[in-house]
Amino acid sequence: MILEALQYAATYPVTPKPFRPFIRSSVNLWARAGRCAKDWATHEAQCQTFVRETVSGMKERRTVVVLGSGLLRDVPLAFLSKTFDTVVLVDLVHLASVRLWLSAKRPRNVRLISRDLSGLDDVLAGRETEPLSFLRQVPYLDLVISANILSQIGVGATRRLETDKSGDATEVVPKLISAHINGLAGLPCTVALLTDTRYRVSERSGAVLEDTDLLCGITPPPAAQSWSWPVAPFGEESRDYQVVHDVIATSALSRFSV
C-alpha cells in the first residue's frame, strides 16, 4: 500500500487535471501487474511478438502511435524506439514509474500524450464520435497499435454511465467500441489491434461461474492470433476462482456499421 500511495502521489502533479480521476485505476493495475507478473508474462510476450512481426513486414518506419500505452508491458518500447523515428504514447494517465523508466532509458524520440480515446462525451452530447480522428494530423504515420484498450473503453464508459446516470450503457458502449475499430480501419497506415474480447470466471473444478462479452455484442475482426490471459489467477481475487480473458491480435480490420 505504501508503494501504491507513493505512485499515486508522484503521478498526480504530472497528470493534467481532467485525467487525475483515472490515476487510482492505473495505480491499481500497476499493483496487480506486479503481483501477477509470472501469470501475465506469456500474454505480454505474445503481444510484443505480434507487434514485432507486424513491424517486420513494414517498409516505412517513421512514426508509430501506441493507443493505451499504459504500463508499457505489452508493447516492446525499446524495439519501437530503435526502429521508428518517433514513438507517441497515448493514454489517460502515464504513471510516474513509467516516466521514471523513460527518463532512465532516455529514448529521445518518445512523446507522451494524455488523451481520452473513448469518444464518450461526443456520444452523450449527441454528436458523431470519431475518437481517433486526431491521428489524421500525425505526420509520417506508419503504424498505430491499439494495445489492449478496446475492452477498457467499454468498461470505463459503463462505470461512468452507471455512476452519473447519463445514458444507457447497452446503447452507448457498442457505439464506442465500433467507433474505435472503424477509426483504426480507416487509417492509411499499418494497424495492430490487441484486445481481450471476453472473460470467464471459473472454479478450480473448471465450472464456469460467469462468461461475459467484453465487446458488448460487437463482432471483433478476424484474429491472426489468439490466446488466453489469466488476468486474475487463483489467489488474486479469491482462492476458489480465477478470471481468464480471451485475447486476439490482428491487423486485418474493415469498417462496419452497428
Over its length of 258 residues, how does the chain's per-residue pLDDT go in tens digits? 899 999 999 999 999 999 999 999 999 999 999 999 999 999 999 999 999 999 998 999 999 999 999 999 999 999 999 999 999 999 999 999 999 999 998 888 999 999 999 999 999 888 888 999 999 999 999 999 999 999 999 999 999 988 888 788 889 999 999 999 999 999 999 999 999 999 999 999 999 999 999 999 999 999 999 999 999 999 999 999 999 999 999 998 766 555
Q: How many CB atoms lie within 10 A of CB 48?
A: 18
Phi-psi region of 133 (alpha: psi -120 to 50; beta: other; left: phi over 0): alpha
Contact 69, 89 (CB under 8 A): yes
Would you mind telling me the total number of residues written for the chain in this entry?
Answer: 258
Q: What is the CATH number of domain 2-196?
A: 3.40.50
Per-residue pLDDT, 258: 55
Give the residue from 71, 68, 66 showing the smallest Cα distance to 27: 71
Distance CA 3, CA 44 (A): 23
Name the 3-class secondary structure at 58.
Answer: coil
Distances from the Cα of 47 to the Cαs of 6, 66, 91, 210, in angstroms? 29, 13, 18, 25
Cβ atoms within 10 A of the Cβ of 107, count?
A: 14
Phi-psi region of 60 (alpha: psi -120 to 50; beta: other; left: phi over 0): beta
Q: Residue 126: what pLDDT?
A: 87
Q: C-alpha 105: how far from its chain's center?
A: 23
- pLDDT value of residue 74: 95
In this structure, what DSSP letter does residue 107 have?
A: -
C-alpha cell of 226? 489468439
Nearest to 98 by CA among 221, 193, 187, 14: 14
Residue 119: the pLDDT is: 94
Question: CB 177: neighbour CB atoms within 10 A?
Answer: 25
- Spatial distance between the Cα atoms of 62 and 237, rounded to a whole number of angstroms: 42
Report pLDDT for 106: 84
Please say whether the beta carbons of 149 and 176 come within 8 A: no
Please answer whether residues 173 and 154 qualify as being in contact, where contact means their C-beta atoms are separated by less than 8 angstroms. Answer: yes
Handedness of CA 163, 69, 219, 122 (dihedral sign): positive
Distance CA 91, CA 106 (A): 20
Q: Is residue 213 helix, strand or coil?
A: strand
Residue ranges covered by each domain of the chain: 2-196
Q: Report the predicted TM-score, pTM, of the whole model to 2 decimal places.
A: 0.95
Measured CA to CA, the distance from residue 40 to residue 72 in angstroms comes to: 13
Question: To 10 degrees, the CA torsion angle through 44, 209, 197, 35?
Answer: -20
